[in-house]
Amino acid sequence: MSDANLEDVFVELTEKFSDTNSLVRVVLSGRRRNMQTAHERIDLRPVLIKDSIAIQVSHSDGRQMTTKNYEVGQAPFSELMRSGYANILLEQTHQSISVRITKKGEALIHRESTEREQELSHDRSKSRLLDPSDPYLIAIGISDAQGNLKASKSDKYKQVEEFLRLLTPTLTSAIKAGHIAQPTAAKPLTIVDLGCGHAYLTFAAHQYLRSQGMPVKVIGIDVRTSARDRNNEIAKQLGISSSIEFRAEEIADTTLTSADIAIALHACDTATDDAIAWAINSDAKLALIAPCCHHDIQAQMNEIPQPWSIITRNGIMKERLGDLLTDGLRMQIMKLRGYRVEAIEFIGGEHTPRNLMIRAVKTGAGVDASEKQRYDEMLALWKVKPALATLIKG
């Protein structure tokens, strides 16, 4: 992630936005310090209407989606971009640019080389990465026997799709940068799903990456023997047992010692810390972690530094602040261990309230001493000790 002059960034994004031949979408979200935005999030994308390209601008008020189409060149992108949003994501067919505007008004940019297709249909039916008739989706119960998506599993399907849309460009970028070796048949990409449960995402990663021609070896870890037996039986039925397996083990005590990629989605409370600790201790090159409930730090928030009591005296706000403290400290610990770390939206809040994902790539870059100082100051201020800190070796 690099620093850049904010106005220069706005000019570059405006130029790329105008290239409708390669533009996939833009997402504006978050709020800059001391600024108000008209909507929590705005999505912009090119659409095809009566054989002509237009720009569709959408936002939600939490109850319904409002959409308006503009002629090319008339969409108020420049104004919206400057109206107070803290995060800007611009995706093109060949790359993505993610911009975070800091409290000081500085632009932090992350660029990735990716391959995406434009979806120009006006009704916004997103192209699917996994066909609902895929035998794996039928076997795990997301689709029915006829290969139709079950209405009761639509949120789970969207979660799986969104996960793959995050995994694929991140993995591609990590391989291109040399952080992960190019997978081969002799040395396939290794992925571990820590706390895999019913293994929706475990199977999804396996099936999708194999469909893209990538050699993989996937291991699902879950403490329940029933989950292990069920998932191994599904793998056997699908004829993929040679490249995917499941073990009944605690994350903290798993016999698995290494993997290129560690994923853990909604592992409860300190099980998330066990998963992050495993990734760090095992030198995983890429970690995708979606935390769940955060009781550990919340239980330690007894001596509230002032003037934070104006927030913590409200129970629900104290809980949310505890969530942020927990994940912020987790990310800082990973950063101190040589990871480039980001917090990103996993999937829209209408599908799951747990929509934050920690994305970390092991770069091995040196860490400025000030980062360790900030971490120590945060612990001292709140008088807390993260569970994760006790699990890291060395």
Say whether pTM exceeds 0.75.
no
Can you give the pLDDT at residue 194? 96
d(CA 264, CA 194): 5
Listed residue (189, 130, 198, 191) closest to 164, CA to CA? 130
Domain positions in the chain: 2-113, 135-390
pLDDT, tens digit, for every residue of 61-112?
544 568 899 999 999 999 999 999 999 999 999 999 999 999 888 899 999 9
Can you give the pLDDT at residue 126? 52
Can you give the pLDDT at residue 247? 97
d(CA 307, CA 91): 40
For the chain, which residues score pLDDT lower than 50?
A: 62-63, 124-125, 348-353
CATH 3.40.50.150 fits 135-390, yes or no: yes
E strand spans, the chain: 2-4, 23-29, 41-49, 52-60, 65-71, 87-92, 95-101, 107-113, 189-194, 216-222, 244-248, 261-265, 286-290, 339-345, 356-362
Listed residue (259, 194, 250) closest to 225, CA to CA? 250
Can you give the pLDDT at residue 64? 54
Can you give the pLDDT at residue 137? 92
Can you give the pLDDT at residue 349? 40
